[in-house]
């Protein structure tokens, strides 16, 4: 929105351009020309000295409530976040994401301290300043990178870059002889807190490397780095290479053990399958055997039927005396009976019985005479 400037005011303190009287002087319109947030991510964020804010329009002081409502509409809210950003990690990216999304229309400026300031007030870094600058330029939340940022923010620096708010975590940052380098920013109402990401920091990453130094030294030796590049002594180099060979042997033994376990497992599975099939077949065989030869089996019934047929064939039943077959065959004479002949089927059981039968036979002969 254009800003109107006048050289005179009414008696009530209201500019003449806003009073009921017609303006007597020419009014000049000044538009905001502040850089807008990046709309494309096909290129890295620019440096501040390449695209500094040359806007001549005055920047009214905003409150946090006003900025969260989306005002002013004619320019973005300029938010500043600074740090060392060594070994750029997800904690850094998350902090910048929070700073970028504090207000509806934010332009995020990120200040990165130089190596000299960092080594003086904090300590040695893993990445140099050029590498840290480039890491920030390729973060999607960053709109502008300020190189060689001051350790403590001054009013001149805030005015130069037209900064509205400063974003950082709320933990007091004691450094450079101060209990909190952001104390004066907080008192001015320009501080907006962000949340730290627990479990990840540059110090934690360095601690992991130092704790497992031997592992990483052996890793880099295995990848082709020389002992001189790793600042490793001749004895340690030989030790690490020997340990690498031992690890390779262990890995081979482990692979052989895993393969043998897989083979044993396969044999066990097949044996279980064979035993299960054998049990099923044995049950089936026993069931079939019982069906044939059990108490009520088919073999017993068949044997009984065949035995009964054999008995019938060996001893057929006699026909009755009054059967029509006998009465219809008169030409057939009955077989003669001889009473004096002994019964062949029932021989005398004793001598007395034999004598009695002989005497009876003789008596019968006398009667016939």
Higher confidence at residue 336 or residue 275? 275
Give dist(CA 233, CA 17) in Å, integer. Answer: 80
Find the mean pLDDT for residues 334-347: 51
The percent of residues above 70 in pLDDT, for the chain, comes to 72
Neighbours of 307 (CB within 10 A): 10
**Percent of the chain whose pLDDT exceeds 90:** 36
Residues 4-25, mean pLDDT to the nearest whole number: 37
Largest Cα–Cα distance in the chain?
Answer: 196
Domain parsing of the chain, residue ranges? 64-199, 203-306
Q: What is the pLDDT of residue 77?
A: 93
Q: Which of 84, 82, 96, 86 is nearest to 206 (CA)?
A: 86
φ and ψ at residue 26, rounded to 5 degrees? -70, 135
Question: What is the pTM assigned to this prediction?
Answer: 0.60
Report the distance separating Cα 92 and Cα 317, nearest Å.
Answer: 116
CA dist 229 and 243 (Å) reads 19
Res 306 pLDDT > 80 = no
Per-residue pLDDT tens digits for 89-134: 999 999 999 999 999 989 999 999 999 999 999 999 999 999 999 9
- pLDDT tens by residue, 140-188: 999 999 999 999 999 999 999 999 999 999 998 887 678 899 999 999 9
Q: What is the mean pLDDT of residues 20-42?
A: 61
* Structure confidence at residue 44 (pLDDT): 92
Distance of CA 53 to the CA centre of its chain: 48
Q: What mean pLDDT is predicted for residues 326-354? A: 51
Fold (topology level) of 64-199 = Rossmann fold (3.40.50)
Confidence label for 248 from pLDDT (cuts 50, 70 and 90) = confident
**pLDDT in the model for residue 357:** 55
Report yes or no: 47 and 144 within 8 Å, Cβ to Cβ.
yes
């Amino acid at each position: 929105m254009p800003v109107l400037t006048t050289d005179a005011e009414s008696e009530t303190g209201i500019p003449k351009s806003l009073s009921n009287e017609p303006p007597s002087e020419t009014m000049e319109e000044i538009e905001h020309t502040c850089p807008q947030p990046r709309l494309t991510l096909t290129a890295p964020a620019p440096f501040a000295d390449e695209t500094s804010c040359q806007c001549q329009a005055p920047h009214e002081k905003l409150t946090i409530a006003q900025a969260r409502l989306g005002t002013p509409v004619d320019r973005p809210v300029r938010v500043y976040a600074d740090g060392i950003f060594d070994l750029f990690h997800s904690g850094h990216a998350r902090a910048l994401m929070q700073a970028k999304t504090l207000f509806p229309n934010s332009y995020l400026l990120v200040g990165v301290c130089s190596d000299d300031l960092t080594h003086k007030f904090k300590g040695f870094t893993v990445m140099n300043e050029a590498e840290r600058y480039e890491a920030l330029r390729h973060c999607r939340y960053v709109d502008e990178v300020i190189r060689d940022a001051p350790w403590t923010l001054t009013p001149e620096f805030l005015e130069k870059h037209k900064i509205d708010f400063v974003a950082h975590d709320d933990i007091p940052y004691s450094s450079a002889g101060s209990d909190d380098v952001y104390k004066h920013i907080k008192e001015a109402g320009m501080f907006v807190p962000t949340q730290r990401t627990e479990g990840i920091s540059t110090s934690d990453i360095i601690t992991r490397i130092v704790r497992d130094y031997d592992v990483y030294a052996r890793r880099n030796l295995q990848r082709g780095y020389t002992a001189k590049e790793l600042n490793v002594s001749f004895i340690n180099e030989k030790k690490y290479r020997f340990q690498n060979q031992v690890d390779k042997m262990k890995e081979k033994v482990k692979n052989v053990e895993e393969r043998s376990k897989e083979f044993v497992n396969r044999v066990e599975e097949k044996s279980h399958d064979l035993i299960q099939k054998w049990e099923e077949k044995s049950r089936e065989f026993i069931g079939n055997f019982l069906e044939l030869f059990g108490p009520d089996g088919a073999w017993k019934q068949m044997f009984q039927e065949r035995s009964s047929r054999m008995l019938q064939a060996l001893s057929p039943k006699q026909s009755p005396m009054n059967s029509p077959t006998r009465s219809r065959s008169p030409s057939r004479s009955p077989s003669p009976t001889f009473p004096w002949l002994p019964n062949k089927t029932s021989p005398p059981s004793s001598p007395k019985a034999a004598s009695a039968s002989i005497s009876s036979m003789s008596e019968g002969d006398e009667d016939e005479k």
